[in-house]
């Protein structure tokens, strides 16, 4: 990065931005390669190195620009890359494809058909990103920089108009104007409860005290949700800009970003972003010469789910054990070090510059009356196109799962979708046409949470799902209050019994009364919402519980004591693969003749079931 | 061992008590775990009761008070991984390494751990060995993944792309 002297005034920032834009050659060929966790797992960094060294070898390094970008959300098909100005989008790129990509596409601008996306229905090759159904229905506002800018280059962000919202706030708006704009936009917290952000900011501004804090929650503990990781890795400056604006509005001079320890790239990129913003004078003393001071520190979490809860997070920031506090005193009045603190999720912060730049009225046009704007969901599980999608609030589940997500894998039938992480609930297939917004989700017994959307098919056992979440929460309960600590333990025992075939008819009523008690008596939201997965599965899938308890059958083939594998003789071609791989020698049969499974020897490890190409191994 | 490197870390954070968790995380990187003597030393230097240090190191999951193996195998048990068969993979890994979660193999080569979610849910089920992510793992693939690290099949190591 060229060293830039401190930017001392808003007009200097604008001059710098203009210079960056003018330097750009719109006809220059650029290849943008996603380099965040998902695509890195597929070898994206090797691809970048190979492309760079090959270009250098051919003397093309100045003619073709290689950019390492954030996530486009299409993780299922990673590593992905986009080539401009031709607008060519490649999927599942491997290092061995690099020579051809360079000789054909980067030198001549010709697309390689093999690497284009194939529509699973029509089998047609699609060249442009926007024409792929996965992207077509999305409205990418918060994600607009993901996949375009290099998150480690502040100039990329500035060239796209970054820090323009900050300039506007510092030069033309009073703190109360900012709060009113956020209130008018209808922005609600993206991390869980959906509390109106503007109201939170106002309470914090009005709370007595000279020292106040802003905090970004990047703890993203909900299993199945990874949009915050993607934002922190792919567009860290938008989070910083949102936080600086928030700090100005509430009157804070110090901020913290609390990031999960499991996200090393997010920590790295946020660190680089803070350093760069600091050297530009966008953080620190006298920001843009306006006299406003603000600093941000990164604090890494240490692997405790409960630290996503606001008061537990604040305890953790203070260097203590992450146990929640009783909430009769609000954190906006007495939070971190007992001072007024505004805590928002990183996605919420990233929405702030948008609202300031384009206005509250523009923002509120998207979404529904009570849930404005867009929301990023991680659509994962048994869906075909897994990944991150940004959609307007109020879109239906069907559009997300079938139009964008491409439906269920292997053409199996859709059973349910789980939203809201361990505090959320399961929504059955019959509600597929419901709108997705804060209030509608609550009405059906689920919640928005941070936006995890886990799609389940006929092979998912709903009792097992409930047991999974309760097991998760049992280990993550901090143990401070009895209802949560003991309630979860008992619930887990009852659910385990049901899954092992020892369930009794009274168990369902017992689970329900235990749930009611935990909701009423738990200290924090972890315990108070913990029964949701149990209650929602009982509500919609009571028949599955009854099948486990009465018939002792798990028809999804998950609970090991309650099903058996057997081989369909009509489908088996005797390839012997399952026989060779079976660790217990439970598969019998000769080559090219139908095999059988010795039920007594079978440990139901699932190897034969996942290996069989003929789908001859079936669950009974 | 001396505590020079521990001191360096404590100095970097200016011995501030509120940075205790960060310091412990950095200290853990030195040896992959937190030895008892080190914790006692930190307690003395920072004038923090040892009970508070143990309270923290036993509360947060990312701390280990036991020595860990050369390769840390982390099986993601996030929801997407769970639905796609993470438990079956975990069981296969247990069998292959002959250890359970939280344990280390006798030759100190592997430690087995589970994690709530590594945030790569689109690649489920995921297992992480060291810092390498393996996606779409099935029970049948487990043996090959482990053999990449066990030294028995050196030549197999380069095959994963």
pLDDT digits (tens, 9 = 90+) for B35-47: 999 999 999 999 9
Q: Which residues of A touch B84 (CB under 8 A)?
A: 381-382
Q: Does A558 touch chain B (CB under 8 A)?
A: no
Q: What is the pLDDT of residue B156?
A: 39
Decide: A241 and A76 in contact? Cβ < 8 Å: no
Decide: A216 and A255 in contact? Cβ < 8 Å: yes
Question: Is B150's pLDDT higher than 80?
Answer: yes
Please tell me the distance from the alpha carbon of residue A320 to that of residue A301, in angstroms, as a whole number: 11
For chain B, give the mean pLDDT: 90
Q: What is the pLDDT of residue A518?
A: 96
Q: Which residues of A touch B133 (CB under 8 A)?
A: 37, 40-41
Please tell me the distance from the alpha carbon of residue A301 to that of residue A399, in angstroms, as a whole number: 35
Residue of A nearest to B24 (CA): A302
Q: What's the pTM?
A: 0.92
Q: Which residues of A touch B116 (CB under 8 A)?
A: 221, 223, 303, 305, 472, 476
pLDDT band at B159 (very low <50, low <70, confident <90, very high): very low
Q: What is the pLDDT of residue A4?
A: 61
| ω into A309 cis (within 30 of 0) | no
Q: What is the pLDDT of residue A104?
A: 92
User: A386 and B133 in contact by Cβ < 8 A?
Assistant: no
Q: Where are the strands (E) in A115-235, listed by range?
A: 117-118, 125-126, 213-218
Question: Is B158's pLDDT higher than 60?
Answer: no
pLDDT band at B160 (very low <50, low <70, confident <90, very high): very low
Using CB atoms, pick whichever of B25, B84, B124 lies closest to residue A302.
B25
Extract the tokens encoding A251: 């009157």
pLDDT band at B161 (very low <50, low <70, confident <90, very high): very low
Taking 70 as the pLDDT cut, the residues of chain A under it are 1-4
Extract the tokens encoding A602: 């079978």
Q: What is the pLDDT of residue A138?
A: 95
Phi, psi dihedral angles at B122 (to 5 degrees): -70, -15
User: B21 and A302 in contact by Cβ < 8 A?
Assistant: yes
| A376 three-state secondary structure | strand
Q: Is the ipTM of this complex over 0.95?
A: no
Using CB atoms, pick whichever of B78, B140, B161 lies closest to residue A223.
B78
Using CB atoms, pick whichever of A223, A322, A454 lies closest to residue B59.
A322
Q: What is the pLDDT of residue B157?
A: 40
Q: What is the pLDDT of residue B1?
A: 58
Q: What is the pLDDT of residue A328?
A: 77
Interface subset of A 207-236, CB within 8 angstroms of B: 220-226, 229
Q: Which residues of B touch A222 (CB under 8 A)?
A: 117
- CA nearest A151: which of A138, A160, A164? A160
Using CB atoms, pick whichever of A38, A319, A456 lies closest to residue B120.
A38
Question: Is B67's pLDDT higher than 80?
Answer: yes
Contacts of A331 (CB under 8 A, 6+ apart): A310, A311, A314, A341, A343
Give, in degrees to the nearest 5, the angle at Cα B88 between B82 and B89.
90
Q: In what order do the strands lie in the sheet with A88-90?
A: A64-69, A29-34, A81-84, A88-90
- CA nearest A469: which of A451, A454, A450? A454
Helix residue ranges, H only, A58-115: 98-100, 107-108
Residue with tokens 């060929």: A29
Residue of B nearest to A478 (CA): B59
Residue with the larger pLDDT of the pair A327 and B68:
B68
Interface subset of A 53-72, CB within 8 angstroms of B: none
Give the length of chain A.
620
């Amino acid at each position: 990065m060229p060293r830039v002297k401190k930017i001392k005034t808003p007009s200097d920032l604008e001059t710098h931005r203009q210079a960056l834009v003018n330097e750009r050659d719109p006809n220059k060929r650029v290849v943008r390669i996603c380099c965040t966790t998902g695509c890195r797992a597929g070898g994206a960094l090797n691809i970048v190195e190979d492309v760079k060294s090959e270009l250098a070898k051919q003397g093309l390094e100045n003619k073709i620009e290689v950019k390492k970008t954030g996530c486009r959300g299409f993780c299922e098909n990673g590593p992905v890359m986009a080539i401009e100005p031709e607008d060519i989008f490649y999927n599942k790129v491997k290092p061995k494809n690099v020579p051809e990509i360079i000789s054909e596409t980067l030198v001549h601008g010709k697309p390689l058909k093999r690497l284009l996306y194939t529509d699973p229905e029509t089998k047609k090759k699609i060249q442009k990103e926007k024409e792929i159904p996965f992207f077509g229905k999305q409205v990418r506002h918060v994600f607009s920089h993901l996949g375009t800018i290099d998150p480690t280059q502040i100039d990329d962000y500035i060239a796209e108009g970054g820090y323009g919202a900050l300039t506007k706030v510092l030069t033309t708006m009073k703190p109360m104007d900012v709060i009113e704009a956020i209130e008018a936009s209808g922005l609600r917290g993206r991390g869980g409860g959906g509390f109106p952000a503007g109201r939170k900011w106002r309470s914090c501004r009005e709370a007595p005290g000279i020292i106040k804090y802003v905090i970004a929650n990047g703890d993203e503990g909900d299993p199945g949700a990874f949009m915050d990781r993607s934002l922190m890795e792919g567009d860290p400056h938008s989070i910083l800009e949102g936080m600086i604006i928030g700090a100005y509005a509430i009157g804070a001079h110090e901020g913290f970003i609390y990031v999960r320890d499991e996200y090393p790239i997010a920590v790295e990129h946020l660190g680089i972003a803070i350093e760069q913003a600091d050297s530009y004078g966008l953080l620190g003393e006298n920001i843009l010469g306006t006299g406003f001071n603000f600093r941000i520190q990164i604090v890494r979490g240490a692997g405790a789910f409960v630290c996503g809860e606001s008061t537990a997070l604040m305890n953790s920031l203070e260097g203590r054990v992450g146990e929640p506090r009783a909430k009769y005193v609000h954190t906006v009045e007495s939070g971190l070090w007992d001072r007024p603190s505004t805590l928002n999720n990183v996605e919420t912060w990233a929405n702030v510059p948008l609202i300031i730049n384009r206005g509250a009225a523009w923002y509120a046009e998207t979404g529904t009356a009570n849930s404005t704007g867009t929301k990023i969901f991680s659509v994962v599980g048994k869906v075909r196109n897994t990944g991150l999608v940004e959609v307007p609030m109020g879109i239906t589940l069907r559009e997300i799962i079938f139009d964008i997500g491409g439906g269920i894998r292997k053409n199996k039938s859709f059973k349910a979708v789980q939203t809201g992480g361990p505090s959320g609930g399961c929504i059955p297939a019959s509600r597929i046409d419901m709108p997705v917004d804060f209030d509608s989700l609550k009405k059906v017994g689920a919640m928005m949470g941070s936006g995890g959307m886990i799609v389940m098919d006929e092979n998912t056992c709903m009792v097992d799902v409930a047991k999974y979440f309760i097991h998760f929460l049992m280990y993550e309960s901090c143990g401070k209050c009895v209802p949560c600590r003991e309630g979860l333990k008992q619930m887990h025992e009852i659910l385990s019994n049901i899954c092992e075939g020892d369930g009794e008819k009274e168990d369902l009523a017992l689970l329900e009364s235990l749930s009611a008690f935990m909701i009423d008596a738990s200290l924090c939201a972890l315990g108070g919402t913990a029964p949701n997965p149990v209650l929602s599965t009982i509500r919609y899938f009571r028949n599955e519980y009854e099948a486990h308890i009465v018939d002792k059958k798990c028809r999804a083939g998950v609970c090991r004591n309650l099903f058996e594998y057997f081989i369909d003789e009509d489908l088996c071609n005797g390839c012997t693969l399952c026989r060779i791989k079976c660790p217990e020698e439970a598969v019998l049969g000769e080559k090219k003749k139908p095999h059988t499974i010795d039920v007594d020897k079978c440990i139901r490890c699932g190897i034969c079931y996942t290996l069989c190409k003929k789908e001859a191994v079936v669950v009974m | 061992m001396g505590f020079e490197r521990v001191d360096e870390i404590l100095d970097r954070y200016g011995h501030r008590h509120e940075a205790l968790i960060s310091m412990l995380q950095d200290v853990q990187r030195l040896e992959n775990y937190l030895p008892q003597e080190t914790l006692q030393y930190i307690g003395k230097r920072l004038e923090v009761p040892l009970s508070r240090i143990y309270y923290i190191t036993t509360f947060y999951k990312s701390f280990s008070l036991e020595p860990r193996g050369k390769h840390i195998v982390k099986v993601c048990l996030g929801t997407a991984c769970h639905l796609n068969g993470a438990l079956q993979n975990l069981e296969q890994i247990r069998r292959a390494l002959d250890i359970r979660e939280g344990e280390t193999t006798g030759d100190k080569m592997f430690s087995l751990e589970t994690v709530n979610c590594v945030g790569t849910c689109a690649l489920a089920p995921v297992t992480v060995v060291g810092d390498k992510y393996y996606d779409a793992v099935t029970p049948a693939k487990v043996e090959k993944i482990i053999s990449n690290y066990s030294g028995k099949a050196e030549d197999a190591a380069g095959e994963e792309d």
